[in-house]
Structure 1
Amino acid sequence: MKFQLTNHKQSKFYLMRTVHYLLAILFVAAIFTGCKKDDPAVDPSVEAYAKAELTKGGIMYDKFWSTEAGFNQSDANIATFNASGDFFRCKQCHAWDGLGSEGSYINRGPKTSRPSVSSLNLYQMAQTKTPKELFDAMKATTDRRDISYDLSTYNPETNKTEGDKMPNLNQILTDAQIWDLVKFMKEGMFDVSQLYNATYTGTYPTGSATFSNVGLDGDAAAGNTYYTANCVACHGADGTNLLMEEKTLGAFLRSKPNEVQHKVHFGQLGSEMTGQFDITITEMKNLYKACADTEAFPDEVPPVGEGSLGGIMYDKFWSVESGFDQNNAHLATLAASGDFFRCKQCHGWDGLGNAGAYISRGPKTTRPNVSALNLYEMAQTKSAQELFDGMKATENRRDISFDLLTYDPETNATEGDKMPNYNQLLTDAQIWNIVAFLKDGMFDVSQLYDATYTGTYPTGSATFANIGRDGNAANGTTYYNEKCAACHGIDGIDIELEGKTLGAFLRSKPNEVQHKVHYGMLGSNMLGNFDITLDQMKDLYKTTANEVAYP
């Protein structure tokens, strides 16, 4: 009995001790839980900053109301933003480099369409201020421009006070959007002094900026690897495929390294180029180092072969791409009455004239009749000299002075339907370029697709079938992925052509597409694939004929 009583007391003791331990734990938990609400270290801004999206902030710094930023395109102020964009873009007042008027924008003076650049070094401030301090500054209302202010009255000489103010962002952005910008400033802005050397001379707005040693101590080999993996598909191995402000990639980067770093990081808004959002400062430096090489990334586009220039001229001989003198005395006439001078208008993209795909392309007051001549067939049977002499002829040719505004296909078509007198427009070298195209650069479209032409010009019709004929679709897919997918998308739906997907456009106009794949889409970023063979074109047609793969 004594033994049992002892065990009972011990059990009671252990039970009480356990209860005490539990109460102690609950008490401590209550202390910490109760104190959390009053702990000054716990700030709602910490959570807001953590949720912010750096990528969106970088895009917004460029243009916060862009589609890419996710901005509401039905916002009541969207028309104001579009009409007076530079008064709302962060990059206008603080520059791509964040250095304001003391950096690359030292000479970007104000105009009636844009405000003065701020003297604030935004990059430096962002590194020294807390996220909350930056947020509060952006939320401020004192000394801010109201959205209702009429910016059409801005004049940098006489009326710039209000226009130069920062917009009242409370009227424009949500707190979440402002936090996105804060996060970009804190974590997404690159220190451009680690990317290149810059010398700023004079004072704003008449100073100057020069850049050197682009890429500094970066690794060019690593930069080339990065370029090949992320840039080459669109820009080409040497950066000459797409021109930016009439410059090659290398020339543009070396002249505007302040701008390129942001666009590589966050994309070229309004284009197919999205940002490399995860790129590091080291990777950017390496990329810059590689692109600083003027031999690997030249300033000029390498000259194309004569036949290639001829192919471009067949489309529009006075285009910039053809090398035509843009100060030519007749340029205004050519631009105003283009279809009376374009080879493709009278002979068709296929070279078959009015017996081919242009069987239904009747004349208008703005364009002549399509020729009955089968130019492709003639070019194969005539010598190069005979073709040259034919283009140099002056008999039965239209003088440049003829007033094409008087052309009427019903009552006054004779002169307008004549071939232009090319002696008045082109040099012998330019005519030889077109001859080279006619002899060696035109494709026999009957090997690319089957066509049925019904009726007669100008009321006939053309239908196309068996696109790609006996081409190899697998080879065509490989070619497409290497040359086309980066811009048009893997299934050809990223860019619309006359309201159609790539597949639909090609299947409806195979006569036209073959020329533009070969020689480029003039006036756009699409250069020609000058070395493409007929077999490669056939393979490309065969794969894009697949309506499932290319809807």
Structure 2
Amino acid sequence: MPQLAALAIGVGMLGASASFAADQGSIARGGKLYDKWYKVIKEEPPAESHKLYPADATYADKAKSNWRCKECHGWDGMGADGAYSSGKHFSGIKGINGMKGGDPAAVVALLAGPGHGYGDYLYEEDLTDLANFVVSGQSNYGDYIEDGKIVGDVENGKQVYATVCANCHGADGKEPKEMPPLGSLTGNPWELMHKVLNGQPGETMPALRAIDHQIAADVIAYIDAELPEQ
């Protein structure tokens, strides 16, 4: 049971930071869990809203949204101090950026504890991967964004897209049919950077995290500049 795994971690592993190997595969999976954990573990989301999500915020009555880590803390990890400082996603909740470089075991204990409540749903591996993302996987997306757009080498992005992305998304970015064209998704560069680096929850999309993050920015710059919105 997840509760038992959480108990074992929270009580028995607080001093065992060395057991958390912050490898890129773990971090990328943690990034997907941060995005939409219930898709990753192939379970239904909780029916009740997360108790830490403010009752007066936009998604207070939508548990599928307010149980996603990104909904409170933002794609950039900065919460109320970042891209979610205003607009429909504003919740007033602080970011996770203060946990960069911290102790993964301490993050696991926080996630599994009664406040966040993820110990009721996630197993040891899940909590470990999510903690590794929080501690070692937060990227400075702002370094690649200027005036709300990703800055990158369009030609280089074209070559990467053609060899890595086109097989699933098509040369024009209009595959698979059940999702919007990629060219229409560039209005949220923080989300796109997160997904290109870590992958899409519940899908076989490759994660580019282990290579220079500028390459992810180049791919998005190409999508923005060359692929159709419709």
Give me the TM-score of the superposition, normalised by structure 1: 0.31
- Partner of 1:307 in structure 2? 27
Identify the residue that residue 36 of structure 2 maps to in structure 1.
316
Letter in 2 for 1:370: S
For 2:144 and 2:130, how far apart are their aligned partners in 1?
22
SS in 1 for 2:135: helix
1:481 corresponding residue in structure 2: 162
SS of residue matched to 1:484: helix
Partner of 1:343: 69
C-alpha offsets along residues 242-281 of structure 1, whole Å, 9 cap, x if unaligned? xxxxxxxxxxxxxxxxxxxxxxxxxxxxxxxxxxxxxxxx
| Paired letter, 1:504 | S
Aligned to 2:137: 441
Residues 1:540 and 2:216 are matched in the alignment: no
Output the aligned Cα RMSD: 3.2
Distance in structure 2 (CA, Å) of the matches to 1:492 and 1:517: 14
Contact 2:37–2:68 (CA<8 Å) still a contact in 1?
yes
Report 1:77-116 matches (<5 A). Answer: none
Unaligned runs of 5+ in 2: 1-23, 50-61
Partner of 1:374: 95
Contact 1:488 1:494 in 2 (8 A): yes
- Using the TM superposition, give the Cα deviation of residue 314 of structure 1 relative to its aligned residue in structure 2, in angstroms: 0.8
Task: Indicate conservation of the 8 Å contact 2:85/2:92, yes or no.
Answer: no
Distance 1:509 1:323 in 2: 25
How far residue 306 of structure 1 moved from its aligned partner, in angstroms, is 2.0
2:184 aligned with 1:504: yes
In 2, distance between residues paired with 1:393 and 1:345? 19
- 1:348-367 matches, cutoff 5 A: 348-362=74-88
- The structural deviation recorded for 1:481 is 0.7
Relative to 1, partners in 2 of residues 1:427 and 1:493: Cα closer, same or farther, differing over 3 Å? closer
CA gap of 1:422–1:504, structure 2 versus 1, over 3 A, is: closer
Give the drift of 1:496. Answer: 6.8
> What's the CA shift string for 1:123-169, capped at 9, x where partnerless?
xxxxxxxxxxxxxxxxxxxxxxxxxxxxxxxxxxxxxxxxxxxxxxx
TM-superposed CA distance for 1:381, in Å, is 4.8
Higher Cα Rg: structure 1 or 2?
1
CA positional deviation for 1:449: 0.7
1:52-87 deviation digits (Å, cap 9, x = unpaired): xxxxxxxxxxxxxxxxxxxxxxxxxxxxxxxxxxxx
Matched, 1:432 2:128: yes
Distance 1:487 1:429 in 2: 28
Change (3 A) 1:496 1:361: farther
Contact 1:496 1:502 in 2 (8 A): no
Equivalent residue of 2:129, what SS?
helix
- The one-letter code of the counterpart of 1:477 is K
2:209 is the alignment partner of 1:513? no
Which of 405, 412, 421 in structure 1 is aligned with 2:117?
421
Three-state SS of the structure 1 residue aligned to 2:84 is helix
Cα deviation, residue 346, structure 1: 0.7
Find the partner of 2:47 among 327, 333, 337.
333
- SS of the residue corresponding to residue 390 of structure 1 reads helix
CA deviations on 1:36-67 (whole Å, 9 max, x unpaired) are xxxxxxxxxxxxxxxxxxxxxxxxxxxxxxxx
How far 1:542 moved relative to its partner?
Answer: 3.1
Deviation (angstroms), 1:446: 1.0
* Cα distance change of structure 1 residues 524 and 429 upon mapping to structure 2, 3 Å threshold: closer
Which AA in structure 2 matches 1:483?
V
TM-fit CA distance, 1:529: 4.1
Q: Matched residues, percent identical?
A: 25
SS at match of 2:185: helix
Aligned length: 193
How many angstroms does 1:392 deviate by?
3.8
TM-score under structure 2 length normalisation: 0.68
Alpha-carbon shift at residue 474 of structure 1 (Å): 2.8
Where has structure 1 moved over 4 Å in runs of 4 or more?
A: 493-499
Question: Is the 2:28–2:199 Cα contact (8 Å) retained in structure 1?
Answer: no
The whole-number CA distance in structure 2 between the counterparts of 1:522 and 1:429 is: 16
